Structure 1
């Protein structure tokens, strides 16, 4: 397997929460959310191929569809038989969660946390550039020149919530050179987001959780998804940025548990 998995057991529950991280992130982003979920269902997190502590296999096809197949393979390898699978996708992970909803009959509900919804396929110029020799070297230099603490302060609304642990955790994967070769392939192979027509075909209930002050994926994207998905409900949290699982893990956990039990709020 190209991905690194982290299972959290929860008795005999037939429900499974699958936590799928976003772009340039990894399973660390869910560490504060997991304690709110683990007493209610099995919880499975992962580092998608090319990210976090996963294998950086440059032969892997770095596309949303392949990521979805990898996550599905991970679920199939489990000894337990889950009849109620709830994908929880953050940012880019939302595109994978929606694709799981299309392909897995045991997925009855989907949770999207500040999901990407307007990220089109990379431009032809960028895809061409990614094939140039040493593009991955340039990419590594470009990324490493960015101050991780500054980036976190851009995505977390309350700068006081940025911790040394977060800075260290998000800095760690950036030191691995193979990650940039994988990232170069991702730039070339990543599809665009699901089209409006594809979104219309998803008839399962979808919970959209958003931060009002998200500067990475603005709340307008959430409103667009609520409009295009037949059974979607959007909840917006004030004074919250892009990293909902880390900024307000208890509130997010409560919403996920209520929604997955079929007890959505009407407001």
Structure 2
């Protein structure tokens, strides 16, 4: 049985929950989840990697079991998420790590990488986008809110926060939906239903425009620093299209691109394949 520790860290007055497994003397992998999830999404992956790596999986501020600071005292933007997670890595003593980024974890993690490229040993992007060609038509309602931040356009996005919508995000593009546990989506729906979390999520929908604006900066980081990168993608993702994975090779000619016959939450169905690909990448990088 994998020995997983469930802990919290005080990050400049912000309580961050995280999962930790593996020997701290081994190479570290920082696992960053996305919307509308938490570090719970790594529940199957962590045991597959813990014998070989030191694993740290925090819940982003306002997500999962991390502290939900009121919006009047904390502005929920991706810059703010990255600032807290960056300080989190310092508080718990991480000075070198590979990044596993998914969905919201990508713009969060890439901000960390740009700020401290010397800390990042490799990048695993699992449906973590950094190119405009990766954005599907599923982003249209959110992009409308970016262009016209009216209350009407904001309220229209609440449809993405319902339990049915969250479950759809887990099942869409999965050939056999009986392979997708109901636990992850049910937990996500529970977390989203807590007081003020819906408004936090709507704030982040609006601020996602800041990530697209930073895509050229993310790409410049890739070109300059050439981190070893694996883009492993659920090819049926309704939000982030396969061209977003393929685009990494434009800036990282040695990037490894793999597609899986599944949807957005690829770990729900392909944790074993993803773990094997991570081991292959990191072992090769360490050789």
Structure 1 position 72 matched with structure 2 position 72? no
Of 215, 226, 232, which residue of structure 2 is paired with 1:195?
A: 215
Structure 1 position 22 matched with structure 2 position 34? yes
1:45 positional shift:
0.9
Summarize the Cα distance change of 1:214–1:250 in structure 2 as closer, same or farther, 3 Å threshold.
Answer: same
* Cross-structure match for 1:61: 75
SS in 1 for 2:227: coil
TM-score by length of 1: 0.83
User: Is there any run of 5+ residues in structure 2 with no aligned partner, and where?
Assistant: 1-10
Which stretches of structure 1, 4 residues or longer, exceed 6 Å deviation after superposition? none
Alignment of 1:91-240 (within 5 A): 91-104=103-116, 105-117=118-130, 118=132, 122=143, 123-129=145-151, 143-144=161-162, 146-154=164-172, 156-190=174-208, 191-193=210-212, 194-196=214-216, 198-202=218-222, 203-237=226-260, 239-240=261-262
1:212 positional shift:
2.5
SS in 1 for 2:48: helix
Of 30, 52, 55, which residue of structure 2 is paired with 1:43?
A: 55
Summarize the Cα distance change of 1:92–1:214 in structure 2 as closer, same or farther, 3 Å threshold.
Answer: same
Summarize the Cα distance change of 1:126–1:32 in structure 2 as closer, same or farther, 3 Å threshold.
Answer: farther
1:139 positional shift:
5.8
Summarize the Cα distance change of 1:20–1:156 in structure 2 as closer, same or farther, 3 Å threshold.
Answer: farther
1:5 positional shift:
2.4
SS in 1 for 2:280: helix
| Separation in 2, partners of 1:83, 1:76 | 7
| Separation in 1, partners of 2:125, 2:102 | 6
| Separation in 2, partners of 1:230, 1:197 | 18
| Separation in 2, partners of 1:167, 1:198 | 30
Q: Does structure 2 retain, via aligned residues, the 8 Å contact 1:101–1:110?
A: no
User: Is there any run of 5+ residues in structure 1 with no aligned partner, and where?
Assistant: none
Give the root-mean-square deviation of aligned CA atoms. 2.8
How many residues are aligned here? 257
| Separation in 2, partners of 1:174, 1:197 | 31
Summarize the Cα distance change of 1:66–1:158 in structure 2 as closer, same or farther, 3 Å threshold.
Answer: same
Q: Which is helix-richer, 1 or 2?
A: 2
Summarize the Cα distance change of 1:126–1:15 in structure 2 as closer, same or farther, 3 Å threshold.
Answer: farther
1:167 positional shift:
3.7
SS in 2 for 1:248: helix
- Greater CA drift, 38-47 or 111-120: 111-120
